[in-house]
């Protein structure tokens, strides 16, 4: 059998996301998922990439031209299920030590997320556990999270640092992500985010911490090629708009592309800042202003929305409908982290986006495939089933795309294929076996 090469036939529907994918999709294009009825259609994968989608005659012809015998290929019977691109999660904080389930109880007793953080809990509690953990221990914990993502059909994630908050501990987190990117089937794109919180040792002098980020951490991360993006938590009591801008501009000088946690809890002008610095995405945006949304749409900044966080913090959801109608490109993500969204289930996020942010089932598919890929600069490789792209494919156990966001709270991923290899079969992990 030829490695990383296979044929998928007998699907009920195939979501290709075929179309103009040069730029993140906006408006009507967000509702076009390149849907084809599966009957009589075959998805062909050769050497880890998508080689074609067509009828048996077309695929046989294509293989003949390529000098490949059809008998060399593994055949997967999709058995009336729906075939789609592997899901992409463009915003996670998966490399961290420990967990914070007790904070949910504190919140139910009246404490707010920012109050817990101000008392040294929240992000700072995860920071203590992350500093204590060895690189191996962090890799072990992160692998468990990546496995859960993979089981849910997520084949690419972005991962941020930001629980180390010292040079060495930030590098440790980024090294774990780099190591797992090489080792685990899920592709990991890294973001440096030392500007996630001001660590306790700089509580009295946050400016000195910003200087440390700008003068020591950023150059080192860039030099070791440990991250593609640079992110800041621009929030009341964390980093101001002015401080965020300085950190993002400094990152640009080292080739790191800006991202920003914008207008999550308080309206801060984070969306406006994202447009100003030319960020690839602005994320959260629960409290983004009309002007900010307009500026983002104009500047082509992807609005990455995280409805799991609104759900878990019991906050008002971001205005996705307004954003899409205003011409902004929307992507969706779990925001997987230990405090405000502890879930790897991106399918549930899709459901929350439909029910609570009034996105259509087709828009949420775009937002978790091609637009999510654009939000992390990966749209040339993932996010659609197009010839030449990585064969990252999920066979969802649903008869049609609408069923995906209808039968909610359930993991529909049946078979997951990463770069042409079956890594999840019958809902169970099977990679490396």
Binding residue for ligand NIG (CB under 6 A) from 151, 261, 389, 418?
261
Of 9-17, 57-65, 173-181, 334-342: span binding ligand NIG (CB under 6 A): 334-342
- Pick the closer one to ligand NIG by CB: 126 or 351: 126
- Taking the complex as a whole, how short is the minimal distance between the CB of residue 261 and ligand NIG, in angstroms? 5
Binding residue for ligand NIG (CB under 6 A) from 82, 130, 142, 340?
340
Residue 264 touches ligand NIG, criterion: CB under 6 A:
yes
Give DSSP secondary structure letters for 407-430: STTS--EEEEEETTEEEEETTEE-
Of 131-139, 330-338, 374-382, 407-415: span binding ligand NIG (CB under 6 A): 330-338
Residue 164 touches ligand NIG, criterion: CB under 6 A:
no
- Taking the complex as a whole, how short is the minimal distance between the CB of residue 123 and ligand NIG, in angstroms? 4
In sequence order, the β-bridge partners of residue 14 are 36, 83
- Pick the closer one to Fe ion by CB: 63 or 262: 262
> Taking CB under 6 A as the rule, which mask of x and - marks residues 199-238 in contact with ligand NIG?
----------------------------------x-----
Distance CA 28, CA 5 (A): 34
In sequence order, the β-bridge partners of residue 259 are 231, 281
Distance CA 236, CA 183 (A): 38
Residue 122: which of ligand NIG, Fe ion, none does it interact with, CB under 5 to 8 A by kind?
A: ligand NIG
- For tokens 């294929």, the residue is 417
- DSSP letter at 360 equals -
Residue 294 touches ligand NIG, criterion: CB under 6 A:
no
- Taking the complex as a whole, how short is the minimal distance between the CB of residue 340 and Fe ion, in angstroms? 7
Distance CA 147, CA 414 (A): 14
- Pick the closer one to Fe ion by CB: 103 or 335: 335
> Taking CB under 6 A as the rule, which mask of x and - marks residues 23-42 in contact with ligand NIG?
--------------------
SS3 373: helix
- Pick the closer one to Fe ion by CB: 283 or 392: 283
Surface-to-core class of residue 34, CB atoms within 10 Å of its CB (0-12 exposed, 13-18 middle, 19+ buried): buried
SS3 320: helix
- Taking the complex as a whole, how short is the minimal distance between the CB of residue 126 and ligand NIG, in angstroms? 5
- Pick the closer one to ligand NIG by CB: 312 or 401: 312
- Taking the complex as a whole, how short is the minimal distance between the CB of residue 233 and ligand NIG, in angstroms? 5
- Taking the complex as a whole, how short is the minimal distance between the CB of residue 385 and ligand NIG, in angstroms? 30
- For tokens 């359930």, the residue is 410
CA angle 71, 73, 75 (to 5 degrees): 100
Query: Shortest CA distance to 47 belongs to which of 388, 385, 379?
Result: 388
Buried b (16+ CB within 10 A) or exposed e, 128-160: bbbbebeeeebbebbbebbbbbbbbbbbbbbbb
Question: Are 103 and 121 within 8 A, CB to CB?
Answer: yes
**Which tokens is 56 given?**
């048996």
Interacting residues with ligand NIG between 94 and 153 (CB under 6 A): 122-123, 126
- DSSP letter at 389 equals S
- Taking the complex as a whole, how short is the minimal distance between the CB of residue 233 and Fe ion, in angstroms? 8
Computed on alpha carbons and rounded to an integer, the radius of gyration of the chain in Å comes to 21
Distance CA 429, CA 433 (A): 9
- Pick the closer one to Fe ion by CB: 238 or 364: 238
Residue 126: which of Fe ion, ligand NIG, none does it interact with, CB under 5 to 8 A by kind?
A: ligand NIG
Residue 281 touches ligand NIG, criterion: CB under 6 A:
no
Which residue of this chain has its Cβ atom nearest to ligand NIG in the complex?
Answer: 339
Query: Shortest CA distance to 186 belongs to which of 158, 226, 161?
Result: 158
Query: Shortest CA distance to 119 belongs to which of 217, 49, 203?
Result: 203
Distance CA 280, CA 229 (A): 9
- Pick the closer one to ligand NIG by CB: 45 or 265: 265
- Pick the closer one to ligand NIG by CB: 163 or 401: 163
> Taking CB under 6 A as the rule, which mask of x and - marks residues 56-95 in contact with ligand NIG?
-------------------------------------x--
Cα-Cα-Cα-Cα dihedral sign, residues 140, 166, 285, 265 = positive
Residue 263 touches ligand NIG, criterion: CB under 6 A:
no
Residue 412: which of Fe ion, ligand NIG, none does it interact with, CB under 5 to 8 A by kind?
A: none
- Taking the complex as a whole, how short is the minimal distance between the CB of residue 206 and Fe ion, in angstroms? 20
Footprint of ligand NIG on this chain (CB under 6 A)?
Answer: 93, 122-123, 126, 233, 261, 264, 309, 335, 337-340
């Amino acid at each position: 059998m030829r490695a990383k090469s296979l044929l998928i036939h007998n699907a009920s529907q195939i979501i290709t996301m075929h179309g103009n994918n040069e730029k993140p999709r906006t408006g009507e294009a967000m509702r076009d998922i390149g849907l084809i009825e599966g009957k009589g259609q075959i998805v062909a994968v050769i050497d880890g990439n998508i080689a074609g989608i067509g009828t048996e005659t077309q695929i046989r012809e294509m293989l003949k031209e390529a000098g490949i015998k059809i008998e060399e290929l593994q055949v997967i019977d999709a058995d009336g299920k729906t075939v789609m691109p592997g899901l992409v999660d463009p915003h996670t904080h998966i490399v961290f030590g420990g967990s914070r389930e007790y904070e949910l109880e504190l919140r139910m007793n009246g404490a707010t997320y920012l109050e817990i953080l101000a008392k040294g809990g929240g992000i700072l509690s995860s920071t203590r556990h992350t500093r204590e953990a060895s690189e191996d221990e962090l890799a072990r914990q992160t692998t468990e999270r990546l496995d859960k993502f993979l089981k849910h059909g997520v084949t690419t994630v972005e991962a941020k640092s930001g629980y180390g908050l010292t040079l060495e501990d930030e590098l440790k987190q980024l090294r774990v992500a780099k190591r797992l990117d090489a080792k685990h089937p899920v592709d990991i794109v890294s973001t440096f985010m030392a500007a996630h919180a001001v660590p306790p040792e700089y509580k009295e002098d946050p400016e000195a911490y910003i200087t440390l980020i700008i003068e020591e951490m950023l150059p080192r991360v860039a030099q070791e090629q440990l991250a593609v993006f640079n992110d800041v938590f621009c929030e009341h009591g964390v980093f101001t708009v002015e401080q965020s801008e300085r950190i993002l501009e400094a990152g640009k000088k080292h080739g790191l592309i800006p991202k920003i946690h914008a207008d999550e809890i308080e309206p801060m002008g984070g969306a406006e800042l994202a447009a100003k610095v030319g960020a690839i995405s602005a994320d959260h945006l629960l409290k983004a202003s009309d002007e900010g949304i307009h500026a983002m749409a104009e500047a082509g900044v992807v609005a990455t929305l995280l409805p799991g966080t609104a759900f878990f913090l019991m906050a008002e959801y971001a205005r996705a409908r307004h954003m899409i109608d205003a011409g902004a490109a929307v992507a969706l993500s779990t925001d997987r982290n230990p405090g405000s969204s502890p879930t790897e289930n991106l399918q549930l996020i899709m459901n929350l986006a439909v029910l609570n942010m009034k996105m259509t089932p087709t828009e949420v598919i775009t937002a978790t495939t091609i637009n999510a890929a654009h939000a992390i600069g990966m749209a040339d490789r993932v996010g659609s089933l197009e010839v030449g792209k990585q064969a990252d494919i999920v066979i969802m156990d649903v008869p049609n795309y609408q069923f995906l966001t209808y039968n909610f709270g359930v993991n529909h991923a049946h078979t997951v294929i990463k770069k042409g290899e079956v890594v999840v079969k019958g809902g169970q992990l099977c990679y490396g076996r």
